[in-house]
A = this chain, B = another copy of it.
């Protein structure tokens, strides 16, 4: 009998995967946020939050986010950015905010879930407690409940959501947050998730934590500037980031997932399991074929683990 094939590492699996397992990120769904410390690339999820994604596109096209600020960094929770002078029901601040550009709406429906029917989810083999079903949709971590017929995006590390006040439908996409700690899945179905960070998380996760309640910065001068937020489709072609996300309807994803569930090498014990948020879909910069058709090595956050 031949011995069973030893499991390959994630890096090996990705390095030998054919080009067809990667999907180009639509530049109309890709937000490029420029901070003094670096660029953050966010893929928007129009399937789950069509009204918010439309509004974020209109806000970005109109230059709304340019010159705003990171106002809150709460350890093991979120980094949040927006207009520090926007209307705020807690502080009573009103009428001092930056006006919305033409085409952007000041009221949107809550988009906490969508009908499960027809959603192309790559279902995870493992069950977790947060939802009856979990898996990947368009590369985003998602969950579903066949009983209620709903599907929704999950608050995993890097998830980007639209801050809201006490009313369910009080988010507009003008104020956004990214998850920088252990997945706060209790937020699922409570707020509109609009996408996830594909690249540049370290520029949001390594910021000084805010000293006021909920991680807001105590003083205005502690806030960090947001220089510019653009849709990739609005950038000149040569400035557009060529990001790719692994397709999950591929043998490559299945092999990666099993390599994560059944660890080899340094590991002496394998859980034979993964939770949803420990199984992020890999991202890479699209390799440029050299004249001799030698592809450069894929770069991915997964490959480093």
- A25-33, A47-55, A198-206: which lies at the B interface? A198-206
Min distance, Cβ A92 to any Cβ of chain B, angstroms: 18
When distances are taken between beta carbons in the complex, the residues of chain B under 8 Å from A181 are: 157, 181-182, 205
Nearest-Cβ distance from residue A38 to partner chain B, whole angstroms: 11
A245-293 contacts to B, CB under 8 A, are: 260, 263, 266-271, 273-275, 277-278
Residues on the B chain within 8 Å of A206, using CB? 73, 75, 205-209
In the bound complex, residues from chain B placing their C-beta under 8 Å from that of A274 are 186
B190 touching A268, Cβ below 8 Å? yes
Question: A180 → chain B, closest Cβ, in Å?
Answer: 8
Chain B residues near A273 (CB-CB < 8 A): 129-130
Q: Which chain B positions have C-beta within 8 A of A278?
A: 182-186
Within 8 A of B (CB), among A149-165: 156-158
Residues of B within 8 A of A130 (CB): 271, 273, 275
- Tell whether A128 is near chain B: CB-to-CB under 8 Å: yes
Bitwise, A35-67 to B at CB < 8 A (1) or not (0) is: 000000000000000000000000000000000
Q: A305 contacts which chain B residues (CB < 8 A)?
A: 77
- 20 A-B pairs (CB sep. < 8 Å): A74-B304, A75-B201, A75-B202, A75-B301, A76-B205, A127-B129, A128-B129, A128-B275, A130-B271, A157-B181, A185-B278, A186-B263, A186-B274, A186-B278, A188-B271, A189-B269, A190-B263, A190-B266, A205-B209, A275-B275
Report, nearest first, the 5 A-B pairs whose CB atoms are least far apart: A189-B269, A202-B209, A157-B182, A75-B202, A129-B273
